[in-house]
Amino acid sequence: MRLDKLLSSASNLTRSQAVKAIKQGDVLVDGKPAMKGSDKVTEDNEVRYIGVLIKEPKPRYYMLNKPSGCVSANRDKNALTVFDYLLVPRREQLHLAGRLDRDTTGLILATDDGQWSHRLTSPRHGHFKRYRVGLAEPITDKAVMMLEQGVTLEGESKPTKPAIVNVLEPQLILLSISEGRHHQVKRMLLAVGNEVVTLHREAVAHIELDKSLSPGEYRALTSEEIDLSKP
């Protein structure tokens, strides 16, 4: 890892402040003044900033129960974002592992581990996302069959991958999909002649939204939830 990146990720320094600290001689690597921010360091090197030992921080993983009305972005000039609820240190270094529409509620995940989020969200890995979907009209048997076989969305030629549908009530279903196309759930229901009224994400892969979290609340993931080798 670059020395300036280590300093900025493990302290309150920005990248430019880290470079300045290195130039001022405030940073020692193995007891010697560091020369450049681009110098590479490993866990075998002892890095100190004004005498304080600097260690590469461990990756962080959070789940948040997204409320309706906030956007899935790090910042937005005109609306609250999910990061306005995620009050953790260095939150600007986190990114979202998948997004939800502004009016969609439920499970959203944030991390600073890019490889983990890619494995979780890439369609190639086939992780299912489960949604509780309120409908404008009662779901028909034909519509369920179409969703389970895959439907062609408006403006596209390739059908969706087969979904898993559980009918809870005539106008309430659980829908599990393994893709992440734009507004996919809403467009899938339109393709079978229905319309989404409410949309709430309950799970991503084996990670279930903690039922104790009220809208806007969050917690760190457990080691079992982080483990993507689980089915």
DSSP string, 76-91: -SSS-BGGGT---TTG
What architecture (CATH level 2) is domain 58-123+209-231? 2-Layer Sandwich (3.30)
Higher pLDDT, 35 or 211: 211
Average pLDDT of span 199-213: 97
Average pLDDT of span 203-213: 97
pTM: 0.82
pLDDT value of position 44:
87
Say if residues 93 and 9 touch (Cβ distance below 8 Å): yes
What's the CA gap between 49 and 107, in Å, rounded?
38
pLDDT value of position 230:
60
For the chain, the structural domain boundaries read: 3-54, 58-123+209-231, 128-204
Q: Are strands 207-208 and 52-54 parallel, antiparallel or unpaired?
A: unpaired
Task: Write out pLDDT tens, residues 111-137.
Answer: 999 999 999 998 888 899 999 999 999
What's the CA gap between 136 and 193, in Å, rounded?
10
Domains 3-54 and 128-204 equal at CATH topology level: no
- Which one is the CATH code of 128-204: 1.10.287.130, 3.40.50.1980, 3.30.70.1560, 1.10.10.350? 3.30.70.1560
Task: Report the catalytic residues.
Answer: 101
Higher pLDDT, 52 or 193: 193
What's the CA gap between 77 and 119, in Å, rounded?
30
Average pLDDT of span 202-225: 97
- Which one is the CATH code of 3-54: 3.40.190.10, 3.10.290.10, 3.40.50.300, 1.10.3720.10? 3.10.290.10
What's the CA gap between 219 and 154, in Å, rounded?
38
Strands (E), 122-226: 129-135, 164-169, 172-177, 196-204, 207-208, 218-220
Full strand arrangement of the beta sheet holding 47-49: 32-33, 27-29, 47-49, 52-54
